[in-house]
Amino acid sequence: MAAPMNSGRQSYLSQYWRRVMRHVPIESGNYPYVTARVRAKKAALLSPDVYERMLQMEIPQIARVIGEGAYKAEVLALASKASGVDLIELATSRNLAAVFTQIIGFSEGELRQMIGWYLDRFDVQNIKTIVRGKTFGASPTEISEDLVAAGSMKESFLQALIELPTLDDVFDRLEGTIYAQALAALGKRASEVERWNEWEDRVTQLYYENLLFVVPERTDGTRLMREFVRREVDIVNLKTLLRLWASKATLQYDPFLAGGLELPKGELAEMVQMDVNALTARLRDYTLTEDLASRLRDLQALGVGQLVRSVEKLHLLEAGRYAHVHPLSVLPILDYVVRKDREVQNLRIIARGKESAMEPDVIRDLLVV
């Protein structure tokens, strides 16, 4: 009799635990392995002194330097098809997509999902690039050079969008996505839109809204990622705030994102209208912007570009701080994504600056390191 009773008890316990585990948060993902791999990749990122040396080089020398490091495979593959700035831009874009795709590939479980959701920002960037390119009459080749196929959309799909004859055709193909949803909110067909600023801001709002929706505070991993994303919402809102404040621009729609960690969305429009003293005082109220507030007047004198770059540097500092505090979580991976993306932007800035014969000091001020 003992065996049947034991068997029945095991069956009951099995059913009980299945019911319980449906409601208990479970952390899944190979965090130690992925964070170790990402730490190695982060160590290979270009240091400030390498950027400094590049400022003294010509474009072929810069291409040679990146071709001897992390971008070697892409430079070698493209060297027969492109040269100069085109080679640097294509190689860095291809490398960015390859590296992020590789990270997704060796991640598992919930960790893989979270990284994938975050990397969908490159879909947002790519669709905006395609729309801008078609609006300004860029060639398919020119548009393709600026794409980074690191999100959910395959490179072949993005290329097919580029080849479509009109923006109306592009948005017909994007039916059911946040891009079509943002356009529908304008109440116009793509061919009827004259300025795309509002559409771009709405797409960004939908991206973060969806990201926060799919990352609930269910486990320690999702809680940390949600906090990271909410801080990033603060960063995006701060950049928007300072751009509007410095340019004295007024918009007919609300460009700010909901869901920030510290900066209240309801107060941002009011802050746009403040003078420098009032805004400085308000920014001192938040830990994120306390240091920025002390430099606001000096940054204002340097122009909106310096204001925005100061916030982008703040983003790197915040991402690094989160990663340091939680070394075995998704945060070091997101920190690396932010830094790798910034490295590619810096390389492009240097290459384009050299192509335009800009002085090293001018290019240096445009970098975010």
Tell me how many domains the chain contains. Answer: 3
Does 304 share its domain with 348? no
Residue 2, pLDDT > 50, answer no
Distance, in Å, from the CA atom of 63 to the CA atom of 167, rounded to the nearest integer, reads 35
- Domain assignment of residue 1, yes or no: no
* Neighbour-count burial of 263, counting CB atoms closer than 10 A to its CB (0-12 exposed, 13-18 middle, 19+ buried): buried
The CATH code of the domain that includes 321 is 1.20.1690
DSSP letter assigned to residue 285: T
User: Which residue's entry shows tokens 């085109």?
Assistant: 86
Does 235 share its domain with 170? no
pLDDT at 209: 97
Q: What is the pLDDT of residues 308-365, one digit of tens each?
A: 999 999 999 999 999 999 999 999 999 999 999 999 999 999 999 999 999 999 999 9
pLDDT at 221: 84
pLDDT at 13: 44
Does 225 share its domain with 301? yes
Q: Which residues contact 126 (CB under 8 A, 6 or more apart)?
A: 147, 148, 149, 151, 153, 158
Does 75 share its domain with 157? no
DSSP letter assigned to residue 46: P
Distance, in Å, from the CA atom of 351 to the CA atom of 64, rounded to the nearest integer, reads 12
Amino acid present at 69: G
Amino acid present at 76: L
Distance, in Å, from the CA atom of 220 to the CA atom of 30, rounded to the nearest integer, reads 14
Does 321 share its domain with 230? yes
Does 252 share its domain with 203? no
- Domain assignment of residue 6, yes or no: no
Distance, in Å, from the CA atom of 321 to the CA atom of 288, rounded to the nearest integer, reads 12
pLDDT at 27: 58
pLDDT at 197: 95
- Domain assignment of residue 156, yes or no: yes
- Name the band, by pLDDT with cuts 50, 70 and 90, for residue 216: confident
Name the pTM for this structure: 0.89
| Cβ proximity of 124 and 203 under 8 Å | yes
Least confident of 78-82, 99-103, 165-169, 247-251: 247-251
| Cβ proximity of 41 and 99 under 8 Å | yes
pLDDT at 327: 94
Q: What is the pLDDT of residues 108-163, one digit of tens each?
A: 999 999 999 999 999 999 999 999 999 999 999 999 989 999 999 999 999 999 99
- Name the band, by pLDDT with cuts 50, 70 and 90, for residue 241: very high
Range of the domain at 159: 120-214
Give the residue-averaged pLDDT of 295-311.
91
Nearest to 50 by CA among 319, 285, 350: 350
The CATH code of the domain that includes 50 is 1.10.132.50
- Domain assignment of residue 194, yes or no: yes
Residue 40, pLDDT > 50, answer yes
Amino acid present at 164: L
Give the residue-averaged pLDDT of 203-228.
92
Structure tokens at 94: 């291809």
Residue 15, pLDDT > 90, answer no
Find the angle CA(220)-CA(223)-CA(225) to the nearest 5 degrees.
110
Portion of the chain with pLDDT greater than 90, in percent: 85
User: Which residue's entry shows tokens 């490398």?
Assistant: 95
Does 252 share its domain with 190? no
Q: What is the pLDDT of residues 60-112, one digit of tens each?
A: 999 999 999 999 999 999 999 999 999 999 999 999 999 999 999 999 999 99
- Domain termination residue (choose one: 214, 230, 252): 214
pLDDT at 20: 36
- Report the chain's mean pLDDT, rounded to a whole number: 91
- Domain assignment of residue 285, yes or no: yes
- Name the band, by pLDDT with cuts 50, 70 and 90, for residue 22: very low
pLDDT at 278: 96
- Domain termination residue (choose one: 179, 214, 249): 214
CA of residue 217 relative to chain centroid, distance: 21
Distance, in Å, from the CA atom of 206 to the CA atom of 212, rounded to the nearest integer, reads 10
Does 226 share its domain with 167? no
- Domain assignment of residue 9, yes or no: no
Q: Which residue has the higher pLDDT, 14 or 82?
A: 82
- Domain assignment of residue 356, yes or no: yes
Structure tokens at 207: 């991206």
- H or E element that contains 219: none
Cβ atoms within 10 Å, residue 41: 16
Does 249 share its domain with 304? yes
Nearest to 72 by CA among 52, 102, 95: 95
Distance, in Å, from the CA atom of 154 to the CA atom of 157, rounded to the nearest integer, reads 5
